[in-house]
């Protein structure tokens, strides 16, 4: 079977789904690998590096798609790419399925086997396939680097002949993978770091990477689902949370927000009223901007200034670290595929918890339990 890797065409996307060093992992179990010309240019992998590793080069996307049995991508296919897909192809990528219901229909119509890597279950056996965690760690790191660049202050404490510079104060909201990496990075840069999460169970993790865990007077039972993700809460919960958070954000220099709910708009945690209470020159890095943002007024892909506070809605942090992002992505996606290979034969085993959890479209139908109800609502 031929595994194909196209060049990503989403504007500004520099990652590639497979790097040369992982090709042998596929060829040694019987796969052939083909790469579109220039697919690795955004992360400095030349076509020759792929050829030297055992891949062949397709001159363009149409030629690649027409021969692919399995297609690896980073982002979901654009409309032009869907047109190239041939019936029966297995597609593996970050599918963004909740917001791409039309794509789900198109894939079902072409009888594509569509896997969404963001749906890989968070179980021990699947840790090496967890693309979301790999990319979130990069986002958390890059968020702090950008905050340090934009903040009109030093991060570390400095004692100089001209006086003492006090360290920057950083507040991280959400202690998932991105939040923990942000905490660790800000701490390494010398900031005083505090963090908050609705899940009290993460307190130990927050403290282990050098931050003080902030606790608000809120009911925290039922704030985490079985997969370890934060669950959406009531409007009353968010109102009380905002009231207690206002004093905290007013006292810091940098706020990094990471709160996202799978399949839903991000909860607004920092209101316009809270922005007015913040110090002019403060920075908010809103890692949930692509889903509406945790900050009132945040805009995806833009830097917005309100009341002297800059709200950063950057959405492409992994792409800005394309070399390592592609390396991690390649490891995740390769391991995911190899999990479906038994005795050098590829098969989609619906009894496998990982396979079933990530399979969105199969045999002409949208099959994922979280997506099927949305498709039904769309058809009404």
Active-site residue set: 122, 127, 130, 133, 229
Strand order in the sheet with 283-286: 212-213, 192-196, 169-173, 254-257, 283-286, 309-312, 303-306
237's enclosing H/E stretch is helix 235-250
Dihedral of CA 132/138/142/143: which sign? positive
The residue to which tokens 């920057």 are assigned = 168
Q: Which of 101, 80, 110 is nearest to 91 (CA)?
A: 110
Contacts of 101 (CB under 8 A, 6+ apart): 371, 374, 375, 378
The residue to which tokens 């905002």 are assigned = 242
CB-based burial, 183-220: b 16+ in 10 Å, e otherwise? bbbbbebbbbbbbbbbbeebbebbeebebebbeeeeee
Distances (CA, A) of 215 to 126, 144, 240, 241, 244: 31, 22, 13, 10, 10
DSSP-derived letter for residue 78 is P
Distances (CA, A) of 222 to 201, 228, 232, 369, 370: 12, 11, 10, 21, 19
Contacts of 151 (CB under 8 A, 6+ apart): 168, 253, 254, 281, 282, 283
Phi, psi of 314, rounded to the nearest 5 degrees: -60, 135
Cβ(374)–Cβ(98) under 8 Å? yes
Dihedral of CA 158/160/165/166: which sign? positive
Distances (CA, A) of 241 to 171, 175, 270: 15, 16, 10
DSSP string computed for 205-216: HHHHTT-EEP--
């Amino acid at each position: 079977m031929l595994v194909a890797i196209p060049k990503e065409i989403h504007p500004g996307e520099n990652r590639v789904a497979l790097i040369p060093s992982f090709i042998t992992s596929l060829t040694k179990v019987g796969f052939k690998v083909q790469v579109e010309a220039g697919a690795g240019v955004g992360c400095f992998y030349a076509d020759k590096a792929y050829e030297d590793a055992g891949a062949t080069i397709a001159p363009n996307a149409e030629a690649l798609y027409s021969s692919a049995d399995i297609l690896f991508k980073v982002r979901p296919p654009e409309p032009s790419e869907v047109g190239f897909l041939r019936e029966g192809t297995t597609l593996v990528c970050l599918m963004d399925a909740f917001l791409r219901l039309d794509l789900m229909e198109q894939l079902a119509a072409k009888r594509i086997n569509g896997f969404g890597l963001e749906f890989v279950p968070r179980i021990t056996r699947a840790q090496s396939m967890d693309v979301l965690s790999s990319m979130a760690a990069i986002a958390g790191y890059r968020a702090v680097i950008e905050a340090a660049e934009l903040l009109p202050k030093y991060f570390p404490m400095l004692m100089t002949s001209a006086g003492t510079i006090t360290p920057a104060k950083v507040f991280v909201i959400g202690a998932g993978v991105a939040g923990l990496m942000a905490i660790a990075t800000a701490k390494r840069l010398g900031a005083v770091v505090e963090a908050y999460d609705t899940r009290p169970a993460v307190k130990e993790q927050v403290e282990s990477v050098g931050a003080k865990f902030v606790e608000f007077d809120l009911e925290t039972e039922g704030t985490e689902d079985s997969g370890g993700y934060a669950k959406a809460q009531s409007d009353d919960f968010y109102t009380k949370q905002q009231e207690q958070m206002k004093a905290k954000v007013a006292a810091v220099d940098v706020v990094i927000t990471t709160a996202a709910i799978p399949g839903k708009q991000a909860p607004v945690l920092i209101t316009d009223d809270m922005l007015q209470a913040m110090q002019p020159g403060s920075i908010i890095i809103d890692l949930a901007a692509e889903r509406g943002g945790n900050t009132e007024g945040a805009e995806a892909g833009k830097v917005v200034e309100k009341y002297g506070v800059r709200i950063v809605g950057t959405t492409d942090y992994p792409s800005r670290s394309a070399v390592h992002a592609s390396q991690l992505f390649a490891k995740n996606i390769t391991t995911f595929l190899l999990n479906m290979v038994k005795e050098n034969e590829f098969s989609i085993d619906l009894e496998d918890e990982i396979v079933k959890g990530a399979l969105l479209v199969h045999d002409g139908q949208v099959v994922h339990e979280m997506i099927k109800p949305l498709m039904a609502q769309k058809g009404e």
